[in-house]
Structures are given as C-alpha cells and as structure tokens.
C-alpha cells in the first residue's frame, strides 16, 4: 500500500471514530434527557443542561454568550435556569454564571497579554467606591450577611459592572451593530407581553405572589418582571434607539418597521398605567425633539392635538377609571411623602453609615410606622436615591453622586466629540442622553433594586455606546498617527 493510500485510510478511520464518538455522546445525552423527563420533577434536569450549554456557548464565543444572556435573562426563573445547590450554598443562578464567566474570560485575556490592562478612570473609581460604601451596609442588614450579600451582588454589583464589562467586548462598528440588534427582540417580547396581558387579563410568566390588580377596573401588569414600572423603565430606556433607527432609515420598509415599534411601545407604556413610565416617555420625546430637528414638527403637533383633545373631552376623561383610580389617586402620593419623611429621619439618625442594607421596611414596620396589610408586603422608600442615602449613609451616596456627575461630564464631552468629528452620527450619542435622563428620572420614583433586568438593560446599552465612542476615538488617533507617518516619508 502506498504512503498516500495509507494516510487516506488512516484519515478515514479517524473520521469514522470521531463521528462514532460524537454519535455515542449524543445518544447517551438523549438517553439521559429522555429518562430525566420521565421523572416526577423533570424540570430539575433543565437547570444543569441549560446552564451547561450557556457556559459552553460563552466560553466558545464570549460575545455571542453576552448577547444570548441579554435576551434570555428575564426568562431564567421560568425556564428553570437557576440551579439550587442546597441550604447554605449560594444558588448557581443563570445571571451569576454568565457574568462570572465573562469576567473570568476577560481577566484571563488581560493576564495572558491578549488584551491590554484597563486604564484607571474616575468613572470606574467612583463606581468602585460606591459599591464598597453601599456594600458595607450589608453588615447591618436584618436579612443576614449571606442573604443580603447575594441580593446586593445580583441587583447592584452585576448590572453596574456590566457597564464596564460590555465595553471590552464591543470593539468595532460590526460588533456595535450586533450588540444593538438584540434590542428589537427585547422590546418586542415586552410589548407582546404587555399588550396580551392588558387586553386579555391572562398572565404569562407569572411571578408568584405579585398583585395583578390596581383597582377593580385597572389590571396591573405582572407577567415576567412582576411590576409595571419595571416594564415601563425598559421600554422608555430603549425608545431612543428606535427613534434613532427610524430617522436614520433610508428604505420605506425600515421606516415602517421602526415606526411600528415606536407606536406599539408607546401604546404599551400607556397601558401600564404608571406615572413614572409616562414621565420617562415624555422626557425621551422632549430630548429627541432637541436632538433631531425632523422630530420636532410631528412631536409638537401630536402634543397640541393631545392637549386640545384633553380640553374638549375633559368631562369623560375626568370620570374615567384611569384618571380617578390611578392618575388622580392620592394614596400613592401620600405614601411617598410619608416614606420620604421616615427615610430622612432614619438618615439623620445615622448620616455616615446608614441604617443597613434593605432595612427600611423591617425597621418601619417594627416601629409601627406602617400597617402591614399583606403577608409579603414590605414598605419601600419608592425613591432609589433616598433608599441608598438612608441604607448606606453618605458613605454610599456621595460616591454615587460622584459617579453621576462624572458620567454626565463624559456624556457632554461625547456630544462635543460627535459634533466635531462625526456630525452625521450625532443622534447616535443622543440615545445615551435621552436614555440616561429617562432612567435617572424614573428611579427617583421607584425602588430600582428589584428591577434587575431593567438595570441590566440600561447599563448594557450605556456600555455598548460608550464602547463605540471609545473605538471611534481610537480609530481617529490611529488615522492621525498614520497620516503623520506618511508626511514623514
């Protein structure tokens, strides 16, 4: 037998063995999967399998793993993607797994020289000080160190760190396009859920124990995220992206696609019956009318027609359930006023260290300041800034203030950079301005901590757009350096 024939024969046998091994693994996996589904609790099998495939995907392609995480995250509790490891051991949650893997991959790339080590910035410094200062309040939490620590990691450390993590995985315009391409999918399933539940009353992905009615006439959106304000936050934060794509579109099909999204998202926010959502949407539209001149005429025309309609139809509107039972309902306003007074009192009692992480409800109930009318109801300040101030004192609040000030300085600098170097894409940076203003306004009227997915979406969007600015600046510096080298030649 010739050498070529021998090599061909050996390659054939290796191919057969490889196919046989893969087939054997597939058959064994199918056997255990079918066997597991026949057990009394087949959902217990979904957690390890789902987490395993997400882990493999993330390791093989971290960027694709990141995009998958963003889309799947809110469904993890309903698709049994959170694995319980027993009493005393932190659960292996879907969000925790993907975040840790992405952070670990990034660290290994730094350690092996595949990426340069990140430079220290004031933005990172303030955020780190905030997490440290707020994290110190865990030791005083009534929940206990373990439970409070897990809660703090899930709702604060993970979303805020995502802002910096994303910036290292988005390094080109193609990656920017792919990173933003998942936003219609997220907004799409939120709109479908809101429209379906608010028109039929049927709840999909019901978080157990959440109230499903505002009043006898108004349904309270509950499915998936558990609170209508959380849905409204995400839709408001994503709205600037769709406005940007609508006015940048050059084909009629694209115009119809993004225009339909804008209308449906606005209708969905309207059906959520949250004043914070209405306020956030109005802020987005006002900011966009300043950024995009072509939006001013339709926006102001719509506002004029809406104002005229309210004047002409004030009688029926003032008697509607939406106005009487929700918009003009004074109980929630009175609640926030009382919560503010109690919160300020707690802050003054311990202005430096605060009263402890998530202790507002426990302490106010124990002091008899609230009447607990539901077994699982826990009073909250309904103001994220106040919650941080009284929980962590000035030690946690001042770094947060420093973070917001530094962020806005960078946002303003980014606006100037786009105006000077990329005026055609100035509206792209307007997404950051509108989304940040809406987000900062909304969280002043609700407790954003439990809204983990809303925080994830905002800081993901912020990180993606900052990453693009960072990459654009780097490309411009490289072009200037290349031009200088050509002049020297």
189-206 confidence digits (pLDDT tens): 999 999 999 999 889 888
Of 59-68, 222-231, 298-307, which gets the smallest average pLDDT? 298-307
Given this model, what pLDDT does residue 323 score? 63
Arithmetic mean of pLDDT, 10-33: 55
Cα distances (angstroms) measured from residue 225 to each of 250, 454, 464, 486: 35, 9, 23, 56
Chain mean position to CA 289: 25
Q: What 3-state class would DSSP assign to 343? A: helix
Tokens, residue 24: 């054997």
Asked whether residue 212 carries a pLDDT value surpassing 90, the answer given is no
Q: Where are the domains of the chain?
A: 12-37, 42-117, 128-488
Asked whether residue 228 carries a pLDDT value surpassing 80, the answer given is yes
Q: Per-residue pLDDT tens for 79-137?
A: 888 776 555 556 678 899 999 999 999 999 888 888 887 777 888 899 999 999 999 99
Q: Which residue has the higher pLDDT, 214 or 191?
A: 191
**pLDDT-based confidence at residue 25 (cuts at 50, 70, 90):** low
Given this model, what pLDDT does residue 312 score? 80
Arithmetic mean of pLDDT, 309-338: 70
DSSP letter for 170, please: -
Q: Per-residue pLDDT tens for 364-398?
A: 888 777 765 555 667 888 899 999 999 999 999 99
Given this model, what pLDDT does residue 74 score? 93
Q: Which residues of 241-266 are buried (b: 16+ CB within 10 A; e: fewer)?
A: bbbbbbbeeeeeeeeeebeebeebbb
For 62, residues 6+ apart whose C-beta sits below 8 A from its C-beta are: 101, 102, 105, 106, 169
Whole-prediction pTM: 0.85
Q: Per-residue pLDDT tens for 404-461?
A: 999 999 888 888 887 787 777 778 888 999 999 999 999 998 888 788 999 999 999 9
DSSP letter for 425, please: G
Chain mean position to CA 235: 10
Q: Which residue has the higher pLDDT, 476 or 78?
A: 78
What is the chain's mean pLDDT, rounded? 82
What is the torsion angle, in degrees rounded to the nearest 10, for the CA atoms of residue 72, residue 74, residue 78 and residue 79? Answer: 10
Asked whether residue 342 carries a pLDDT value surpassing 80, the answer given is yes
In whole angstroms, give the CA distance from residue 342 to residue 232: 27
Given this model, what pLDDT does residue 37 score? 47
Q: Which residue has the higher pLDDT, 285 or 322?
A: 285
Asked whether residue 332 carries a pLDDT value surpassing 50, the answer given is yes
In whole angstroms, give the CA distance from residue 475 to residue 470: 9
Asked whether residue 27 carries a pLDDT value surpassing 90, the answer given is no
**Are the beta carbons of 452 and 159 closer than 8 angstroms?**
yes
Helices (H), 73-222: 94-111, 122-135, 145-152, 158-167, 173-181, 183-200
């Amino acid at each position: 037998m010739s050498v070529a024939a021998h090599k061909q024969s050996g390659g054939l046998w290796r191919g057969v063995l490889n196919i046989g091994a893969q087939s054997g693994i597939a058959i064994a996996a199918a056997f255990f999967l079918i066997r597991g589904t026949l057990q009394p609790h087949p959902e217990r099998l979904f957690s390890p399998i789902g987490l395993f495939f997400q882990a493999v995907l993330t390791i093989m392609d971290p960027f694709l793993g990141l995009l998958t995480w963003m889309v799947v995250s809110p469904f993890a509790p309903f698709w049994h993607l959170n694995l319980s490891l027993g009493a005393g051991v932190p659960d292996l949650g879907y969000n925790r797994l993907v975040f840790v893997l992405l952070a670990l991959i990034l660290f290994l790339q730094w350690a092996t020289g595949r990426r340069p080590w990140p430079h220290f910035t004031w933005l990172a410094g303030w955020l780190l000080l905030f997490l440290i200062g707020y994290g110190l309040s865990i030791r005083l939490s009534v929940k206990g160190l373990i439970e409070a620590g897990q809660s703090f990691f899930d709702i604060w450390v993970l979303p805020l760190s995502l802002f910096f993590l994303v910036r290292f995985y988005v390094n080109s315009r193609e990656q920017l396009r792919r990173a933003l391409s998942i936003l219609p999918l997220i907004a799409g399933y939120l709109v479908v859920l809101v429209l379906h539940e608010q028109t039929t009353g049927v709840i999909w992905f019901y978080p157990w124990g959440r109230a499903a009615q505002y009043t006898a006439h108004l349904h309270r959106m509950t499915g998936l995220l558990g609170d209508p304000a959380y849905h409204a936050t995400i839709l408001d934060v994503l709205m600037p992206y769709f406005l940007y794509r609508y006015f940048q579109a050059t084909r009629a099909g694209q115009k119809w696609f993004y225009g339909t999204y804008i209308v449906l998202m606005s209708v969905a926010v309207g059906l959520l019956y949250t004043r914070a959502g209405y306020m956030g949407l109005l802020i987005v539209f006002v900011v966009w009318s300043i950024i995009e001149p072509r939006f001013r005429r339709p926006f102001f025309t719509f506002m004029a027609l809406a104002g005229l309609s309210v004047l002409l139809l004030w009688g029926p509107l003032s008697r509607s359930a939406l106005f009487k039972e929700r918009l003009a309902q004074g109980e929630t306003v009175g609640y926030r006023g009382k919560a503010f007074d109690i919160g300020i009192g707690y802050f003054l009692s311990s202005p430096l260290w605060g009263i402890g992480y998530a202790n507002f409800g426990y302490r106010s109930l124990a002091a008899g300041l609230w009447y607990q009318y539901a077994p699982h109801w826990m009073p909250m300040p309904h103001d994220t800034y106040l919650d941080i101030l009284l929980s962590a004192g000035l030690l946690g609040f001042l770094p947060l203030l420093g973070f917001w000030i530094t962020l806005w300085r960078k946002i303003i600098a980014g606006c100037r950079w786009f105006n000077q170097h990329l005026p055609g894409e100035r509206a792209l940076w307007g997404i950051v301005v509108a989304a940040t203003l809406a987000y900062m306004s909304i969280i002043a009227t609700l407790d954003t901590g439990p809204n983990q997915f809303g925080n994830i979406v905002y800081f993901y969007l912020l990180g993606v757009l900052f990453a693009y600015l960072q990459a654009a600046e780097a490309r411009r510096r490289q072009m200037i350096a290349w031009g200088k080298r050509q002049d020297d030649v």
